[in-house]
Amino acid sequence: MYKKISISDLSSLLLGTLIFLFFVLFYSFHLHYQEQYQLFLFTFDYFFQRVMQPGGFSNYLGSFFTQFYFYPWLGSLIIAVMLVLLQRILFATAQNLRAEKNMFVLSFFPGLMYWGLLCDENYLLGGLVSILLISLTNYLYTFSKSGLVKMLFIFFGIPLLYLVSGGSVIFFFLFVFIMEIKEKNRSWKFLFLFYFLGISLIVVIPFLLKNILGMFPPVRTFVGVDYFRYPINFPLVVGAIGFLLVLMPFLSTFLSNRGFSQKRTVVFVQIFTLFLFGGWFMNKSVDFKREEIMEYDFYVRMRKWEEIIQKAEAKAPQSPLSVTCLNLALGKEGLLGDRMFEFYQNGVDGLIPDFTKDFTIPMVAGEVYYHLGFINTAQRFSFEAMEALPDYQKSVRTIKRLAETSLINGNYVLSRKYLKILQHTFYYRKWAIYFERALNSEEIIDRHPEYGLLRRVKLDRDFFFSGEEKDMMLGIMLSEKKSKLAFEYLMAYCLLNKDIQHFVQYFPLGESLSYFAIPRHYQEALIYAWDVSKSNVVKEIPYNINNQIKSSLNAYKRIYTSQSDPQNLLRDDFADTYWYYFHFRN
Predicted confidence band at 158 (pLDDT cuts at 50, 70, 90)?
A: confident
> 134, 168 in Cβ contact below 8 A?
yes
- Length of the chain in terms of residues written: 586
Q: Is the pLDDT of residue 322 over 50?
A: yes
Q: Is the pLDDT of residue 259 over 80?
A: no
Lowest mean pLDDT among 65-69, 385-389, 509-513: 509-513
Q: What is the pLDDT of residue 210?
A: 66
**What's the whole-number mean pLDDT along residues 283-288?**
93
**Among 451, 499, 507, CA closest to 478:** 507
- In angstroms, what CA-CA distances link 19 with 25, 114, 430? 10, 11, 31
Residue type, 105: V
Q: What is the pLDDT of residue 212?
A: 66
The distance from CA 128 to its chain's CA centroid, rounded to whole angstroms, is 17
Q: Is the pLDDT of residue 537 over 50?
A: no
Query: Phi and psi for 92 in degrees, rounded to 5?
Result: -65, -40
* Cβ count within 10 A of residue 279: 10
Burial zone of 222 (CB within 10 Å; 0-12 exposed, 13-18 middle, 19+ buried):
buried
CA distance 328 to 243: 48
Q: What is the pLDDT of residue 536?
A: 47
Q: Is the pLDDT of residue 112 over 60?
A: yes
Q: What is the pLDDT of residue 420?
A: 96
**Greater pLDDT, 355 or 15:** 15
Q: Which sign, positive or negative, has the C-alpha torsion 251, 254, 257, 263? A: negative
* Cβ count within 10 A of residue 33: 20
- In angstroms, what CA-CA distances link 561 with 524, 529, 558, 568? 18, 17, 6, 14
Q: What is the pLDDT of residue 466?
A: 64
Lowest mean pLDDT among 264-268, 384-388, 480-484: 264-268
Q: Is the pLDDT of residue 360 over 50?
A: yes
> 110, 82 in Cβ contact below 8 A?
no
Contacts of 115 (CB under 8 A, 6+ apart): 19, 22, 79, 83, 282
**Greater pLDDT, 581 or 201:** 581
Residues above pLDDT 90, as percent of the chain: 54
**What's the whole-number mean pLDDT along residues 23-50?**
95
Predicted confidence band at 493 (pLDDT cuts at 50, 70, 90)?
A: very high
| 392 dihedral zone (left: phi>0; alpha: psi -120 to 50; beta) | left
Predicted confidence band at 175 (pLDDT cuts at 50, 70, 90)?
A: very high
Instruction: Cite the DSSP H helix spans in 439-563.
Output: 442-447, 451-457, 470-481, 484-496, 500-506, 520-533, 537-540, 547-562
**Among 537, 481, 533, CA closest to 509:** 481
Query: Phi and psi for 566 in degrees, rounded to 5?
Result: -80, -10
Lowest mean pLDDT among 68-77, 149-158, 168-177: 149-158
CA distance 38 to 33: 10
Crossing angle of helices 147-165/169-181, nearest 10°?
A: 160
- Spell out the SS3 assignment of 457-485: HCCCCCCCCCHHHHHHHHHHHHHHHCCHH
Residues above pLDDT 70, as percent of the chain: 94
> 537, 558 in Cβ contact below 8 A?
no
Query: Phi and psi for 516 in degrees, rounded to 5?
Result: -80, -25
Each domain of the chain, given as residue ranges in start order, spans: 82-284, 289-457, 519-586
CA distance 343 to 345: 6
CA distance 271 to 277: 10
Burial zone of 424 (CB within 10 Å; 0-12 exposed, 13-18 middle, 19+ buried):
middle
CA distance 138 to 157: 10
CA distance 418 to 405: 11
Residue type, 315: K
Q: What is the pLDDT of residue 262?
A: 61
Of the ranges 18-27, 173-182, 458-467, 512-521, which is most confident?
18-27
The distance from CA 327 to its chain's CA centroid, rounded to whole angstroms, is 21
**Among 365, 355, 295, 360, CA closest to 327:** 365
**What's the whole-number mean pLDDT along residues 528-555?**
78
Its CATH architecture, for the domain 289-457, is Alpha Horseshoe (1.25)
Q: Is the pLDDT of residue 539 over 80?
A: no
* Cβ count within 10 A of residue 47: 15
- pLDDT tens readout for residues 85-110: 999 999 999 999 988 888 888 999 99
What is the DSSP track for 383-407?
Answer: HHHHHT-TT----HHHHHHHHHHHH
Burial zone of 267 (CB within 10 Å; 0-12 exposed, 13-18 middle, 19+ buried):
middle
226 HSE (CA, 13 A, CB side): 23
Query: Phi and psi for 304 in degrees, rounded to 5?
Result: -95, 75
458 HSE (CA, 13 A, CB side): 24
Q: Is the pLDDT of residue 538 over 50?
A: no
CA distance 158 to 150: 12
| Neighbouring-strand partners of residue 228 | 123
**Among 546, 492, 538, 495, CA closest to 530:** 538
